[in-house]
Structure 1
Amino acid sequence: MTDTMNKKLKRISESDRISEYDHATQKTLEEIDAIQNELDTINEKASEEILQIERKYNRIRKPHFEKRNQLINSIPNFWVTAMMNHPDLSNLFSGQEEEDCLHHLTKIEIEDFEDIMSGYYIKFYFDENPYFENAVLTKEYHLGNDPPTSKSSQIIWKEGYQLGQNTQETTNKNSRKRRVDCLKTSFFNWFNDNIDPYTDDFAEEFKDDLWLNPLQYYLVADGQEEENGIEGEEESSSDDNDDSAIPEDQSGTNSQSASSSLTGRTV
């Protein structure tokens, strides 16, 4: 059922309820309801125009993304480095073998479907490698389905390889973007796990962060994320705890110091 139909049904229900009130209140409520209908019409028109603008600028951005990918292709290990430096996408590396495999990643492409609202796809391009046959791995997100769905191209593994098996574990990782429990998993587990698109945080990070500006993550210096992120937060937390946990008069030093400090401020 479309949003427009839902709104119309809601309006009918509201109209029935208006009749429950006295005449003066009914008249006021009907006027408010009429204005609300006008606002809904304006909002629908605005949404349509916003989509048209989005389509326009998607077309304008596309050649720039293509040119950027051509330049990135000349830098070895650009995408895998940017992913490993990303505070959340770095959780997709489950071990050395998978990291070695992802060094064969040469290009990422992310694009909305033509109508924008119905979904998008993420494409990962690989050069010849000892792990699988595919030159491109595609993950699609269909947001217009009821319920929304995602699907992934089948990975054709070469003999002796099937990466990303039995590697999931839950870890608590602070990042400069969110303070949530992240799932420590494998890139290939994530790729094959076709969950609800609206709960796929990794897809969101690819689309709304890494893809928009991968350079900022490629250029992250070793250890910079820890220095500016987790360690800084832990140090701040430690300082807060130290400030709030002053022992009372065990040796007299702390109370004397506090007293001196207070005296100094009032003089």
Structure 2
Amino acid sequence: MSAPAAKVSKKELNSNHDGADETSEKEQQEAIEHIDEVQNEIDRLNEQASEEILKVEQKYNKLRQPFFQKRSELIAKIPNFWVTTFVNHPQVSALLGEEDEEALHYLTRVEVTEFEDIKSGYRIDFYFDENPYFENKVLSKEFHLNESGDPSSKSTEIKWKSGKDLTKRSSQTQNKASRKRQHEEPESFFTWFTDHSDAGADELGEVIKDDIWPNPLQYYLVPDMDDEEGEGEEDDDDDEEEEGLEDIDEEGDEDEGEEDEDDDEGEEGEVSNLTPSISGV
């Protein structure tokens, strides 16, 4: 009778195990549903936070405007401020050809304007004095995000003066600039205004908006490495001259010591020569 009893117990164990699996799966499903509900609440708060952050950004953008205006007025008093700033910026300088720099010497003001709905885009304006390259007084490029989130850009058409289109320079000119800068030159900085191929990842636009515009002074004041190297070389020359003078002084002292020894030997010789004469007398 013991064998049948053992079989019954095994069936009961299997039945209990199946019931435990069903309970576990049910609890997991309920947990997943609750996680989804909690995640929805988190997403709702994130959207609310984004809206609040946007309002704060809009508020402080308006508060910054008078200071940006004052800064522009002060920058206007410094010749070649913006071309110096661009040349000193490592990413922007890599995009500048030799003639681009010449054209940017006529750049008097740069302004970045974020649209009221910050998420929808921004505009960069470049103001120029009368120059030999193009007729425009202002060159602008705008970046937009439409309602579906797709990026796009548009820009001012540059009205080049005859024979001055920097975007059509010969390879010979660019190779000359490349030799000077020791790296491959782009066609021209100004091709950026006509390049709308990847508005969502426009590096130059982002660098100007997020890095240069908030504080251009930090790049204007970057020290000239050539000057620093020149000063270092002058210091080295001065040190070498001082060392040379010290060597000369030391040699002079040695010569004087040798002369003193020769004089002493001479005096001793004269005394010895006089001694026999005195004895002979």
Matches within 5 A, 1:43-192: 43-95=46-98, 97-144=99-146, 147-165=150-168, 184-192=186-194
What per-residue deviation string (whole Å, max 9, x for no partner) do you get for residues 182-239 of structure 1? 9845211122211322321111111111111110111111117998xxxxxxxxxxxx
Q: Distance in 1 between matches of 2:120 and 2:190?
A: 25
Most deviating of 196-205 and 134-143 = 196-205
Conserved 8 A contact 2:97-2:188: yes
RMSD: 2.6
Q: What are structure 2's unaligned runs of at least 5 residues? A: 1-23, 230-281
Shift of 1:100: 1.4
Secondary structure of the residue aligned to 1:76 is coil
Q: Distance in 2 between matches of 1:52 and 1:214?
A: 26
Matches within 5 A, 1:210-229: 210-223=212-225
Greater relative contact order (Cα 8 A, min sep 6): structure 1 or 2?
A: 1
Q: Distance in 1 between matches of 2:105 and 2:151?
A: 32
Q: Distance in 2 between matches of 1:137 and 1:63?
A: 23
Secondary structure of the residue aligned to 2:59 is helix
Conserved 8 A contact 1:85-1:220: yes
Q: What are structure 1's unaligned runs of at least 5 residues? A: 1-20, 172-180, 228-267
Q: 2:45 is matched with which residue: 34, 42, 50?
A: 42
Q: Distance in 1 between matches of 2:49 and 2:185?
A: 38
After TM superposition, the score normalised by the length of structure 1 is 0.67
Most deviating of 142-151 and 213-222 = 142-151
Q: What is the one-letter code of the residue matched to 1:206? A: I
After TM superposition, the score normalised by the length of structure 2 is 0.64
- State the aligned residue count: 196
What per-residue deviation string (whole Å, max 9, x for no partner) do you get for residues 16-55 of structure 1? xxxxx93221111111111111111111110100000000
Secondary structure of the residue aligned to 1:164 is helix
Q: What is the one-letter code of the residue matched to 2:101? A: E
Conserved 8 A contact 1:98-1:164: no
Q: 1:25 is matched with which residue: 20, 25, 28?
A: 28
Same amino acid, percent of matched pairs: 54
* CA separation of 1:48 and 1:165: change in aligned 2, threshold 3 A: same
Conserved 8 A contact 1:142-1:149: yes
Larger radius of gyration: 2
Conserved 8 A contact 2:134-2:161: yes
Shift of 1:140: 0.5
Conserved 8 A contact 2:122-2:144: yes
Shift of 1:143: 2.6
Conserved 8 A contact 2:112-2:123: yes
Secondary structure of the residue aligned to 1:57 is helix
- The structure carrying a bigger helix percent of its residues is 2
* CA separation of 1:149 and 1:224: change in aligned 2, threshold 3 A: farther
- Runs of 4+ aligned structure 1 residues displaced above 6 Å come to 224-227
